[in-house]
């Protein structure tokens, strides 16, 4: 039996995806058989996600703000000095005054754009963290799925009456993926489907919700290296799909293509 003290010392490196690939695989295999290490890993993941969400709450660009305030403070003084001089000097300095305020205006516009982009990044990072929470919490549960079946014709009908929409699942024969089952999930009080797929030793979550403002994300948005997770999302026929797991990016992308072609 592997000494858990050795594994416990690697939890932080695993959560940060800093272990070599063979050790990452070995650690995942150990987590599947060791409740203590799995609980420690889950607790650290949740703690890091909470810290990341708190850190992303405010992301003002201090250098740009300082530059704008400096320009706004200095340029009016130049204009006041010009008024006391001769007319030629005034004609020389006034264009500089307006040029200075043009710079200030441009800087303010850049500041507004930067704040808008920072707000979008915070919103996206928050959504990724919340989906990661759903994924980790489900896998740590004694019952990760409510309907256990590898048959898509069993899993899909199970959701009827439980969520306000229907969806299609792909035929996974001759693919490296297997359907493990599904459960009802909630994201900002919006009910949806949480499907779990197996890929080699990995478990991948697929979330399907109605494409509402509660789950709004840019259509092309994706995130890599969210802890040890990869995320992809897209919209299709009024539904928002989100795939998240610790499998490699190519495996996530291939499953995404299978779901997009499902009929």
Task: Give the model's pLDDT for residue 227.
Answer: 52
**Average pLDDT over every residue of 76-99:** 53
Give the HSE-up count for residue 75: Cα atoms under 13 Å, Cβ half-sphere. Answer: 18
Poorest-pLDDT segment among 28-32, 71-75, 155-159: 71-75
Write out pLDDT tens, residues 99-126: 555 555 555 555 555 544 444 455 556 7
Q: Does residue 48 lie in a domain region?
A: no
Q: Is the pLDDT of residue 139 over 80?
A: yes
CB 10 within 8 A of CB 27: yes
Q: How many CB atoms lie within 10 A of CB 32?
A: 11
What is this structure's pTM?
Answer: 0.56
Task: Give the model's pLDDT for residue 220.
Answer: 46
**Residue for token pair 């919700």:** 209
Residue 161, φ and ψ in degrees, nearest 5: 85, -10
Q: Does residue 10 lie in a domain region?
A: no
Task: Give the model's pLDDT for residue 47.
Answer: 67
Length of the chain: 263
How far apart CA 216 and CA 8 sit, in angstroms, is 38
Q: Does residue 21 lie in a domain region?
A: no
User: Where are any strands of DSSP class E within 34-156?
Assistant: 147-148
Task: Give the model's pLDDT for residue 1.
Answer: 40
Write out pLDDT tens, residues 19-61: 777 777 787 778 777 777 777 777 777 666 666 555 555 555 6
Q: What is the DSSP letter of 213?
A: G
Q: Does residue 185 lie in a domain region?
A: yes
User: Where are any strands of DSSP class E within the chain?
Assistant: 147-148, 177-187, 190-199, 202-210, 222-226, 229-236, 239-245
Task: Give the model's pLDDT for residue 172.
Answer: 96
Beta partners for residue 160, in sequence order: 163
Residues of the chain above pLDDT 90, percent: 33
Q: What CATH number has the domain bearing residue 196?
A: 3.30.200.100
The total domain count for the chain is 1
The packing angle between helices 87-140 and 35-55, to 10°, is: 160
Task: Give the model's pLDDT for residue 206.
Answer: 97
Q: Does residue 176 lie in a domain region?
A: yes
Task: Please choose, from the candidates 101, 199, 111, 193, the residue with its C-alpha nearest in 3D space to the C-alpha of residue 156.
Answer: 193
Domain carrying residue 148: 142-263
Q: Is the pLDDT of residue 225 over 50?
A: no
Q: Does residue 224 lie in a domain region?
A: yes
How far apart CA 259 and CA 146 sit, in angstroms, is 21
Q: Where residue 226 falls among pLDDT bands split at 50, 70, 90?
A: very low
Q: Does residue 74 lie in a domain region?
A: no
Q: Does residue 69 lie in a domain region?
A: no
**Residue for token pair 């997770």:** 229
């Amino acid at each position: 039996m592997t000494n858990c003290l050795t594994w416990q010392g690697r939890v932080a490196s695993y959560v940060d995806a800093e272990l070599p690939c063979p050790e990452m695989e070995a650690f995942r295999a150990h987590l599947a058989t060791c409740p203590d290490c799995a609980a420690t890993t889950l607790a650290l993941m949740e703690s890091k996600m909470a810290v990341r969400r708190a850190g992303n709450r405010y992301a003002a660009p201090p250098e740009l703000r300082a530059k704008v305030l400096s320009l706004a403070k200095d340029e009016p003084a130049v204009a006041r000095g010009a008024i006391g001089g001769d007319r030629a000097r005034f004609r020389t300095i006034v264009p500089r005054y307006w040029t200075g305020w043009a710079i200030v205006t441009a800087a303010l516009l850049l500041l507004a754009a930067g704040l808008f982009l920072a707000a979008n990044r915070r919103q996206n990072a928050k959504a990724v963290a919340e989906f990661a929470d759903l994924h980790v919490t489900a896998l740590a549960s004694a019952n990760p799925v409510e309907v256990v079946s590898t048959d898509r014709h069993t899993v899909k009908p199970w959701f009827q009456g439980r969520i306000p929409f229907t969806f299609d699942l792909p035929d996974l024969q001759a693919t490296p993926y297997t359907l493990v089952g599904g459960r009802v999930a909630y994201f900002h009080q919006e009910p949806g489907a949480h499907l779990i797929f197996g890929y080699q030793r990995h478990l991948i979550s697929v979330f399907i919700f109605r494409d509402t403002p509660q789950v709004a994300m840019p259509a092309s948005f994706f995130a890599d290296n969210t802890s040890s997770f990869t995320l992809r999302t897209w919209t299709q026929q009024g539904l928002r799909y989100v795939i998240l797991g610790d499998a490699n990016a190519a495996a996530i992308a291939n499953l995404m293509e299978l779901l997009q072609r499902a009929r």
